[in-house]
Amino acid sequence: MSAPPRRGAAVRAAARMARLSPPSSPRAHDQRGSSAASSSSSSSSAAAPAHEGASDDERQAAAPRKRRRVSPARSAAAVKHAAASPLPRRTASAPTRRKRSVGAAEWAFLDAAEPHVQAVAVPPLRVHARSYHAPLLLAPPSTERPDGAVLGRAARSALLGWYDGVAQQRAMPWRKPFLDPAAYIGREAELRAAQTQRAYEIWISEIMLQQTRVETVIPYFERWLAAWPTVRDLAAASTDDVLAVWKGLGYYSRATRLQSGAQKLVADPELRGLLPRTAHELVAVVPGVGPYTAGAISAIAFGEAAPMVDGNVQRVLSRQLGLYASMKSSATTQLLTEVASRLVRAVAEDGEPKGSAKGSTPKPSDRPGRWGQALMELGATICKPKPECLRCPISSTCRAFAEGEALARKPLSRQEAVPDMEDMCDLCEPLSDDDETNAAAPAPVATAAKKVGGAVQTKLSFGAKSKAAVKVAEPSAGIEVAIERHVRRFPRKTEKKEARLEQCVVCILRREDGRVMLEQRPEHGLLASLFEFPATPLRSDDLSSSAQRALALSHATLVSGGQASYVRSAGSITHLFSHIRLVMHVHELRVPEAPAKPNGERRKWYAEEEVEKQSISTGNARCWALAQGKTSKKGKEK
């Protein structure tokens, strides 16, 4: 018995057959014809050298195929049949679809925004070409839409204006005015020192903000700068002090990498404690600084046109481009980085004086930093995993928003012209099954556009035009919900790997004088350099209390150098890491005649009141609270 057809296979089959269908309207045909003509001329000229010296068979294979014209009825029947029929299973000799990576030579499709302004890849098939992902934020000035929506430079200005109005609402201490080089003419050394200080503060804040909420980071950031206000101060600090200030933020290797980075900058004979200006140099020189952090430092502190692509920006751009793909794909990350680079350069050039040479390097300004922070702020406050699309200042350029609106207004909307199979997008995956997305929404009622000041304000796009008012459909509650349901699907979700389960026995080991043993972890790896109670892994095939007790006794005797005696079981806690679910079984033991120096250089006895002052991990802090009776045996506070 053959397997039932899968939705993904049906979508691919329908897309394969869709190229046989005629254009949906004369206007769509004209647009498609002009686009195809330009693309064919450019592609033929680019491909000409490849034909030189080729055999007759190779020339015939490379020659463009004649397009079949099929009646609408036959085309519809073919699509219906393809969608309903399962694809044949591939054999070892059958050709497979080539996975294409996005390289520098393939960025040309990003320049094709204008011919596709009116096209919408209507769900669920979303048939579209690669050029569909050309960002409307980069649309040329001549590009217009019938609804008067703001595109291109006007949309970029709208996002910057929105950010300027909200930048200080969350009162982040690392957000400070840009250091304008024009104000430091003749004082270049002073400017360089001030820029390095600003770069240092941005560096600290960005590392702290990884995997951590803004509200949590602010007090840590302030305590850090109070302890080590400059790069040189951090380089001279002790690792124990650094970990103590970081205590509670988690991912402690971030703190040690910050310090090693500061030490490398101070030791460098050329930099002498100064941070490099460009993102490329920052990644190459400073340990723990990746492309995103380097872009943030370069753009915000030095005014360079460097892209800043974190998780929030990835989500914003995937929706702007209508890119339904996994963010873990290298092709996806390359594409988003390229788009972000083009956007920040365009924003920097927007601020250049008229008549500036096209293609020249923009002068440093506050625009790149404001733009990068605007995208991040948008992703953090509006374009969230559950978006609030009607508050977005750039919904007019958002492909996912347009698709959601088209889906919500069915059956009024229809698929635009279908590209040839050779031009079909190979970056997007088929939409996964989701009953919520296909939920019906009531049809909207067209009303007059609202006016803001002297300009037209559309409820959907937040875009202002100075022309006469354009009638737009104000979305009902149902339309709004349907749009946001669709937008929520971008970017494509990837299944998270389930954290592996591990178990261990934790020994709270006391001497006769009440001192408690702690040991320091290695300088590299998980929880690097932190202190913890002696612990040993527990075999999963024997979790009995007797097995735990025997293991605790043997390990305590080994690490202390004296004969341990068992006191009691304090209980268990479960501590979650990103990839590990660790169950910690806490046991108390005594070593009446333990030597003053335990076995191992990284182990030491501490007075009970000193334990909490050490840089111990969150999991071990919970074990200590359990042993002291501050929590129940299951690790819950009493």
* Cα separations in angstroms, 121 against 97, 269, 404, 474: 22, 55, 10, 22
**Mean pLDDT throughout 141-164?**
85
The answer to whether the beta carbons of residues 472 and 550 sit under 8 Å apart is no
Per-residue pLDDT band for 64 (boundaries 50, 70, 90) equals very low
Please compute the mean of the pLDDT values over residues 464-477 and round it to a whole number.
Answer: 43
Confidence of residue 292 (pLDDT cuts 50, 70, 90): very high
SS3 content of the chain, % helix, strand, coil (to 5): 45, 10, 45
Q: Which residue has the higher pLDDT, 488 or 442?
A: 488
| CB-based burial, 103-142: b 16+ in 10 Å, e otherwise | eeeeeebbebbbbbbebbbbbbbbbbbbbbbbbbbbbeee
Top-confidence residue, 76 or 241: 241
Q: What is the pLDDT of residue 495?
A: 80
Q: List phi, psi (to 5°) of 55.
A: -75, 170
Average pLDDT over residues 237-249: 92
- Reply yes or no on whether the pLDDT at 269 is more than 60: yes
Q: How confident is the model at residue 633 (pLDDT cuts 50, 70, 90)?
A: low
Residue predicted with more confidence, 196 or 105: 196
Query: Residue 621 and residue 533: Cα distance in Å, rounded?
Result: 10
- Evaluate the CA torsion angle 319, 322, 326, 332 in order and state its sign: negative
SS3 339: helix
Q: Are 553 and 584 in contact (CB under 8 A)?
A: no
Q: pLDDT band for position 445 (50/70/90)?
A: very low
* The predicted structure's pLDDT at residue 613: 87
pLDDT for residue 434: 53
Q: What's residue 562's pLDDT?
A: 87
Residue tagged 């390289």 (tokens): 103
Helix axis angle, 399-408 relative to 477-487, nearest 10°? 130
How far apart CA 489 and CA 467 sit, in angstroms, is 34
CA distance linking residue 421 with residue 45, whole number of Å: 20
Average the pLDDT over 215-226 and give the result: 97
How confident is the model over 182-210, as a mean pLDDT? 96
To which H or E segment does residue 537 belong? strand 535-537
Helix residue ranges per DSSP H, 466-604: 477-487, 545-560
Is residue 347 over pLDDT 50? Answer: yes
- E-state strands within 282-403: none
Contact 298, 372 (CB under 8 A): no
Residue with token string 């559950």: 386
The token duo for 557 is 């005797």
Binned at pLDDT 50, 70 and 90, residue 410 comes out as confident
Report how far residue 591's alpha carbon sits from residue 623's, in angstroms, rounded to the nearest whole number. Answer: 19
Give the residue with greater pLDDT, 6 vs 367.
367
Catalytic residues: 206
The C-alpha atoms of residue 163 and residue 169 are separated, in whole angstroms, by 10
Read off the pLDDT of residues 485-516 as tens digits, 9 standing for 90 and up. Answer: 999 999 999 887 888 999 999 999 999 899 99
Longest dimension (CA), the chain: 95
pTM of the model: 0.73
Token pair 């979700």 is found at 493
Question: Is residue 452 helix, strand or coil?
Answer: strand
Residue 103: pLDDT band with limits 50, 70, 90: low
For the chain, domain boundaries? 500-627
For residue 266, name the pLDDT band (cuts at 50, 70, 90).
very high
Instruction: Find the distance separating the first CA and the last CA of the chain, reported in whole Å.
Output: 59
Q: Which of 55-69, 114-128, 168-182, 550-564 has the lowest mean pLDDT?
A: 55-69
Summarize pLDDT for 11-34 with one digit per residue, the tens: 444 444 443 343 343 333 333 333
Alpha-carbon Rg for the chain in angstroms: 31
Distance CA 179, CA 184 (A): 9
Residue pair 202/297 in contact (Cβ under 8 Å)? The answer is yes
d(C-alpha 572, C-alpha 261), whole Å = 38
Chain-centroid distance of CA 30 in Å reads 38
- Mean pLDDT within 379-408: 95
CB 226 within 8 A of CB 218: no
- Coil, strand, or helix at residue 356? coil
CA separation for the pair 68, 22 (Å, rounded): 10
Q: What is the pLDDT of residue 370?
A: 98
Q: List Cα–Cα distances, 538 to 502, 505, 541, in angstroms.
A: 8, 6, 9
What confidence category does residue 268 fall into, taking pLDDT thresholds of 50, 70 and 90?
Answer: very high
538 neighbors 585 (Cβ within 8 angstroms): yes
Share of the chain above pLDDT 70, in %: 71
Q: Which of 20-24, 146-150, 537-541 has the highest mean pLDDT?
A: 537-541
* CATH code that applies to domain 500-627: 3.90.79.10
What is the pLDDT confidence band of residue 250, given thresholds at 50, 70 and 90? Answer: confident
Q: Which of 608, 589, 392 is nearest to 487 (CA)?
A: 392
Strand order in the sheet with 455-457: 450-452, 455-457, 464-465
Residue 146 has pLDDT above 80, yes or no: no
Mean pLDDT of 211-218: 94
For residue 124, say if its preceding peptide bond is cis, omega within 30 degrees of 0.
Answer: yes
Chain center to CA of 257: 22
Does residue 165 carry a pLDDT above 80? yes
Q: What is the tally of helices (H) and strands (E) in the chain?
A: 21, 12
- β-pairing, 455-457 vs 450-452, is antiparallel
pLDDT band for position 422 (cuts 50, 70, 90)? low
The pLDDT of residue 6 is above 70: no
Report the chain's mean pLDDT, rounded to a whole number. 78
